Chains A and B, each alone.
Chain A
Amino acid sequence: MKYIREFRDGKLARRLGTAIANEVKADRRYHLMEFCGGHTHAIFRYGVQDLVPDNVEYVHGPGCPVCVLPVRRLDDAVELALRQDVILTTYGDMMRVPGTKQKSLIKAKAEGADIRMVYSTQDALNIARDNPDRQVVCFAIGFETTTPPTAVAIQQAKAEGLTNFTVFCNHVLTPPAIAHIVEAPAEPGETPVRIDGFLGPSHVSSVIGSAPYEPAARSYRKPIVIAGFEPLDVMQSTLMLIRQINQGRHEVENQYTRVVTRHGNRKAQQIVADVLECREEFEWRGLGTVPHSALRIRSAYGEFDAENRFALTPKASREVKSCECPAVLRGVKKPTECKLFGTVCTPDNPMGACMVSSEGACAAYWTYGRRREAALSKREAAE
């Protein structure tokens, strides 16, 4: 696996580990928010935290598209799926996410909803072609990375004149989310999140480039390093961030140069701009309503918008009370500070989205991090 395995090399990891240890100042802590769930996953999956000094702390960000989707939108998807005339296609990630009253797509499927797990929007189109007498709704989620494939599918559907294909569009944008995290005031009773720098989105940036983060780095005076998702990428980016912090710089730097350029993939950007436009505002789980942070289908392609084709009923969607997913997504709380974590909320019986997605902070803590947490608390107790 060329260009994968090399970036998981244990010896290079130790090298970077010593370099980071030499770079950190002993008299301070470094709070680094990894924006993306991909980083969270790499940190836990490979045990990166074990290889960096204790005063380097990773704060998990909201960059998990599954986790930030508000319950209301998931409830809408369940409603669509339960319609007799509809086949709902979804990425596997969404299947187990609990909606209101813990209702998930996997439970709707058990009730008879026709839900097909797909790997690509191309599969969704194929299902539409094969089932001309059914309405095929593509449940589209994800950041700027996953958006272009949705836009291409809509263009294809229009070119082919497919009349039974629509998209339930939930694509969201990362730069406004980063700005929101830095700007949002802490809620009553919360300690404001402390962030010294960001590990910036990697695959999102392959599409949009590194330039869109420059205003945020400038105006909030926070360094941002675009970081790949392999564990060595995370470590090298950590080193780059610590250097910037020590030198008082706050620039956008690009560690992931093998696929990220300053301007990204312009062709993909054009296709997205042709099909989709910015929403005035969109609700994010955890962040609340964030202006200009999501995309909807342009009126020129309105016939492919599931929100136009189907009348969705208003709902009193509700998250589980005392689920701390929102605070966890903003980075103000650790999963272990949630009362539900590990008691009523486990990956087998998730109360919130962060416990479902393999890159949700709660699931990552549960699956990979418990041992470390247990060891730390034993050590603290001993001290």
Chain B
Amino acid sequence: MSSPSGRSGLHPGTVDMTHGGGGRAMTDLIEDLFRRHLTNPILDQGHDAGVFDVPPGRLAMSTDAHVVSPLFFPGGNIGSLAVHGTLNDLAMAGAKPVSMTAGFILEEGYPLSDLERIVISMAEAAREAGVPVIAGDTKVVEKGKGDGVFITTAGIGVVPENVAISPAAARPGQVVLLSGPIGDHGVAILSKRENLEFETEIRSDSAALHGLVDAMISAVPHIAVLRDPTRGGLATALNEIAHASRVGCVLHEEDIPVRPDVQAACELLGLDPLYVANEGKLICICEAGDADRLLDVMRSHPLAMQAAKIGDIVEDDDCMVTMQTGFGGARVVDWPSGEQLPRIC
């Protein structure tokens, strides 16, 4: 990892209460650790608020709180995840992200070198996405009152004209597209959880999807619904859409991409991949006639090469999500009740 200015290596020492106290130590931390890596013209203005020009169009604004355990996982850490999550919230409304902010809540005693790794990866994710972090804040809580690092963010974007994406816009006859294999993020996290450890090459799919969405909207501006199936997985996202749109959804199990390793981890822990979290996938609901065109666009994008049509929107007063199983039967794909816990029976 590069070290931009004179200092070589990562920051030594640990977070202590003076870092949140408003004095010299806090200013040094902000200058030396946050601003140094996140640098951009708006942040570098040095205000507490970032001042910027707004492109024409309707504004979209999102807010997101990030807690993840462990903070570092295969394929990312809480820093990159915070950027991707914020930008995806905007993208799923059809918005092009403009800028974002980040607030850090740090636990006393947290190693500054780890904090710096988090900030570096946040900066890299923001740079890659082309979206600057234009304001930030830091607070410190006493040891035992936090889990290392929490990050809250806000994002601002602009929705192009003629785009009217809404979770309530699904209609019978439309089809459900999925951008790629499900469950990678959740399984990558579980593989590092205490008492569950297993070895796997699975990495989190954490990624910013606004580029993909931009390509999709350019091809088909009247997409009905976009949704990133994060916590609660594909099943939860589809149930939310079915309820918001007052429709049913029929999935085809054999068409839903799941990596063999993810399926295997789920078998071992008694989990259902339909309910496992993703951080770089999207569901798209569109007119049946637009499906092939959208799938072509998606499959030529690096983040959606395995995009597939996985189901159909149907009329259903009960707003149920059901699935034709590969075995030949049918089942209801219900809302989950809380986080899926590994089970033995």
Q: Which residues of A does B touch, CB under 8 Å?
A: 1, 4, 8-10, 13-14, 17, 37-38, 44-51, 64-66, 91-93, 95-96, 116-119, 123, 126-127, 142, 146, 231, 346-348, 350, 357-359, 366-372, 374
Count of inter-chain pairs, beta carbons less than 8 A: 107
Whether the pair A50, B330 counts as a contact (CB closer than 8 A) is yes
Indicate if the CB atoms of B328 and A47 lie closer than 8 Å: yes
Instruction: Indicate if the CB atoms of B341 and A369 lie closer than 8 Å.
Output: no
Using an 8 Å CB-CB cutoff, how does the interface string of B316-345 with A read, 1 for contact, 0 for none? 001010100111111110110110011111
Interface residue ranges of B248-275 to A (CB < 8 Å):
260, 263-264, 267, 269-270
Q: Which residues of A contact B345 (CB under 8 A)?
A: 37-38, 64-66, 91, 93, 142, 146, 357, 359
Known: A96-B338, A116-B195, A119-B196. A142 touches B344 (CB 8 A): yes
The answer to whether B195 touches A371, judged by C-beta atoms less than 8 angstroms apart, is: no
Complex CA–CA separation, A123 to B196 (angstroms): 8
Residues of A within 8 A of B267 (CB): 1, 4
Secondary structure of the A contact surface, majority rule: helix
- A366 with B329, Cβ < 8 A, contacts A93-B344, A119-B195, A371-B320 known: no
* A371 and B332 contact, CB distance less than 8 A: yes
A372 neighbours in B (Cβ, 8 Å): 330
Shortest beta-carbon distance from A356 to chain B in Å: 9
**When chains A and B are docked, how far (Å) is the Cα of A50 from the Cα of B324?**
11
Given the known inter-chain contacts A1-B267, A231-B327, A371-B322, please indicate yes or no for A92 contacting B332, CB distance below 8 A: no
Chain A's closest residue to B341 (CB) is: A92
Residues on B with C-beta less than 8 A from A64 are 345
With a cutoff of 8 Å between Cβ atoms, the chain B residues found around residue A44 in the complex are 331
Give B344's nearest chain A residue, CB to CB.
A91
Cα distance, A45 to B271, chains bound together (Å): 12
CA distance A45 to B269 in the complex (A): 16
Q: Can you spell out 7 A-B residue pairs with CB atoms less than 8 angstroms apart? A: A1-B263, A13-B327, A13-B328, A91-B344, A117-B195, A366-B334, A367-B332
| Interchain CA distance A126-B264 in the complex, whole Å | 25
Contact of B329 among A37, A47, A96, A142 (CB under 8 A): A47
Closest to B328 in A: A10
Smallest beta-carbon distance B200→chain A, Å: 14
In the complex, the chain A residue whose C-beta lies closest to that of B329 is A47
Whether A92 lies near B329 (C-beta < 8 A) is no
Residue from B194, B196, B343 in contact with A93 in the complex, judged by beta carbons closer than 8 Å? B343
Which of A10, A92, A127, A374 is the most central at the interface, judged by chain B CB atoms within 10 Å of its CB? A92
A1 interface neighbour in B260, B326, B342, Cβ under 8 Å: B260
C-alpha gap A48/B325 in the complex (Å): 10
Closest to B337 in A: A347
Quick one: CB contact mask for B89-107 with A, threshold 8 Å, 1 for yes?
0000000000000000000
Contacts A50-B328, A142-B345 known; 18 new A-B pairs at CB < 8 A: A1-B267, A4-B267, A8-B327, A44-B331, A46-B329, A51-B329, A64-B345, A92-B342, A117-B341, A117-B342, A119-B342, A123-B195, A146-B344, A146-B345, A359-B345, A368-B331, A370-B320, A371-B332
Q: Judging by beta carbons under 8 Å apart, are B332 and A370 in contact? A: yes
The answer, among A46, A348, A350, for a CB contact under 8 Å with B325, is: A46
Query: Which of B322, B328, B342, B344 touches A51 (beta carbons < 8 Å)?
Result: B328
A9 to B342, CA, bound (A): 25
Q: Write the nearest CB–CB distance from B312 to chain A, whole angstroms.
A: 15
Q: Is the CB of B195 within 8 A of A118?
A: yes
Residue of A nearest to B263 (CB): A1
CA distance A125 to B331 in the complex (A): 39
- List residues of chain A with CB within 8 A of the CB of B320: 370-371
> How far, in whole Å, are A8 and B253 apart by their CA atoms in the complex?
12
CB pair A92–B331 under 8 Å, yes or no, is no
User: Contact: B341 with A368, CB < 8 Å?
Assistant: no
Q: Which A residues are CB-close (under 8 A) to B194?
A: 116
Q: How far is B216's CA from A272's CA once the two chains are assembled, in angstroms?
A: 60
Q: Nearest Cβ in chain B — how far from A281, in angstroms?
A: 23
Q: Which 3 A-B pairs have the closest CB atoms?
A: A47-B329, A92-B341, A347-B337
Min distance, Cβ A203 to any Cβ of chain B, angstroms: 9
- Name the CB-closest residue of B to A52: B329
Most chain A Cβ neighbours within 10 Å, of B196, B264, B343: B343
For the complex, what is the distance from the CA of A118 to the CA of B337, rounded to whole Å? Answer: 20
CB distance from A341 to the nearest CB of B (A): 14
A45 to B324, alpha carbons, bound, how many Å? 10
The reply to whether A10 and B330 contact each other, CB–CB distance below 8 Å, is no
Q: Are B327 and A10 in contact (CB under 8 A)?
A: yes
